[in-house]
Structure 1
Amino acid sequence: MSVHPIQQAHTDGDAIDRLVASHRPGHGLVRAFYHDQAIFERDMERVFRRHWHCLAHASVIANPGDFELFKLGDEAVILTRGMDGTVHAMLNVCRHRGAEVCTKEKGNAKMFVCPYHAWAYSNDGSLRAARLMPKDFDRSAHGLKKLHVRVASGLVFISFAETPLDFDPIEQSLRTSCGQYGWGDAKVAYRQSYPLDANWKLAVENYVECYHCGPAHPEYSQTHALEKPAEMIEQLNAAMEQRTCALGIEIGSANHWQNSAAGQEAIHTFRYALYDGVSSGSQDGSPVAPLMGRFTDYDGGVTSIHLGGTTFLVCYPDHGMIYRFIPKTAGTCEMELIWLVRGDAVEGQDYDLEKLTWLWKVTTEEDKKIIEHTARGVRSHYFVPGPIAPMEYNELRYIGWYLEEISRA
């Protein structure tokens, strides 16, 4: 058996470009894209450090002085709410010798003091004290490295880019989608992280297609019509939209999935129906929490948002889901799931946490197994990707977008 010729290349910069140029349209990515260290480093440079990423829901830092530490690849980011209420994001790297200045995962603090030489930073990142430095030392020039940060519909986004992609259209899209579900006034009910022995793209590719939903997710497929081909659910979708309009709600749906060449972020907002009689994403389709936002009844639908390559949002009338995909190494990544409920909802009174989280816990445990099965399979030197099925149209689009991004210096 012969090895596919483009898998034999040594992946320096030119070889990566040749791999991209040799990609077979309508097919998946070859082995190197899931294992090669040089490709992973380019992923981090041209996808991860170029695009906006949802870090958290703003309710995790609800009060002045609140902070939480987030790790993304080799970077550690301190997310804080300043004493004036402003949200900040800084690299956890002392401007003196590079030690980590924040040593706790979360808490409330007015100041971060580096454990190495005791340089002290305010929770907005400004340097307040640098002991025994000369009189002409400029503290104002040595604050923690700040990242671009935007808060939209309750979601905190960061960008590592020197000049970030235009966020204003994203903010507008979120306002007309998850904003209608009241996410700006929501709170985090539960969070869970799933470490994966797989390249981050395998995890994202699995998420964006539902060709696997029927055989792999029987629980999800009992309630969500997305597991059927698009032409089979047109009537269900039409009925869903009628119910949404009858509630006086208009939810934006738009496809702006584009590369970043023109300085724009990629976002795709779309809606799909639940099966008749299903209200929400739960074990039996029944409601699991109080209605959110503008919803006074259930419309039997779901709003889904794909944003920037690593952020995916799911809106039900009574709760929301944030999916964060976090690259770690060439062969590992992490998925974080965040469940949102109405801000005044009380656990044990307004919602049962086990019922709220059941469906997506079960589905994600199944996904973890599938993704890791795939990761082991594509390690084979004889792996040659097959054709993408019609139901995998979102994966096909994602692969094309990804290849365009890593081709752009």
Structure 2
Amino acid sequence: MRLSALARLVRLSLARERRGAFFSAFGVAMGVGALVFFVGLGLGVGRVIREKIFPTDASLVDVVPPAVSLGSLFGGGKLDTAMVERLSGLPGVEKVYRKMNVRVPAVSRYEGAFFGSRLRMGMEVLAVGVDPGLVSGDVQLGEFKDLGPDQPIPALISTRLLEIYNKTFAPARKLPQLSSQMLVGFGFPVEFNRSYVAQPAAGPTIPSQAQVVGASDRALLAGITIPLDTAIRLNRSANVDAETFTGVTLVAADPSEVPRLVSAVKEMGLEIDDQERRLAENAGAAVTLTTSALALLSILICVLAAVNIAHALSASVRARAKEIGVMQAVGASRSDVRNIVLAEAGVVGLLGGAIGTGVALGMALVINRVATRYLPDFPFKPDSFFSFPWPVVLGGVALGLFAALAGAYFPSRRAAAMDPARTLAG
């Protein structure tokens, strides 16, 4: 049977069975639309978790000393220069970046102009020194290096800390919202080895001036990130440990090398700081579990739609038995009859899948606009709560087609198996 003749017969049949075709397409659209909507929501929320809340790099391994170290008795546990050299010699390690906390408390007492407002505030400050190469791409002013005791300390702030400030702290204190570019060059005083709540070390207080040179995802979340040489100098000036490192970041040549590096690091008596990675994985697992449950419900709706299509087509085949018999008597083959029934279902499935997918995309657009207009600003609020990559969109339409064809399989076989002589005889 020619394609044009098949299309004409399908069009006439669907026009005659408009009511049944409408409800069949509606069931498919409901299931496909719900599935595409919830999958897009899960992908969108997962993207926010991975990219904004807990940004992680699959090629990085953060090494820290063990919480309880038995030292050299078992061949490890101390993260000093010799241990860093051993780590850099591990197969698969491309680069090594050292970290050292400033091991004395620090405070910042600021009073003066703050981007058009007056600010008077004192707060505890945490500081960590890192090798410049780890954050060099985020430095926007000068060089990220120790400039000496009488010069400002280059400091990076966390992009996540800036987000939290803009969405919670600034509105509560009626302070201006800031961008990382606005903060570049901003200076503030920092007194090391001084604290409002903790006991300082025995060494002297070290008054300093910090200057923001950029914002980075790799910067300390609740504090400032400064050059490693500066942290070493401050620790020496305060007469505290300036020889052992707080952590080391290994850059793997390939992400596939990470599991082997983790095993090698643990054999050396060290530990892996994967807290943020685990938090991201746990949050992602919760989103995936919820999305999977809702997707399963949507697939169940599609199954019910397929059953409805099977029921409707079975009734249609019985009602059109004489018509099918006439077609067979004038030369239609069994495959022609089967193709007519499958084509009818395919058109219904394609329309239902396309309509359901379109409705899901439209609902996502409406929800995003409502959220943008009516939801208050909160940290890490995304521009869109949804993500619809093309496989999801095309998969929705394909699912509608598959559900309809699955429902039409048995009715089409039954129609093709009819005996025209017996059907026409009575």
For the criterion TM > 0.5, the same-fold answer is no
User: Max radius of gyration: which structure?
Assistant: 2
Higher strand content, 1 or 2: 1
**Larger relative contact order, structure 1 or 2 (CA cutoff 8 Å, min sep 6):** 2
Higher helix content, 1 or 2: 2
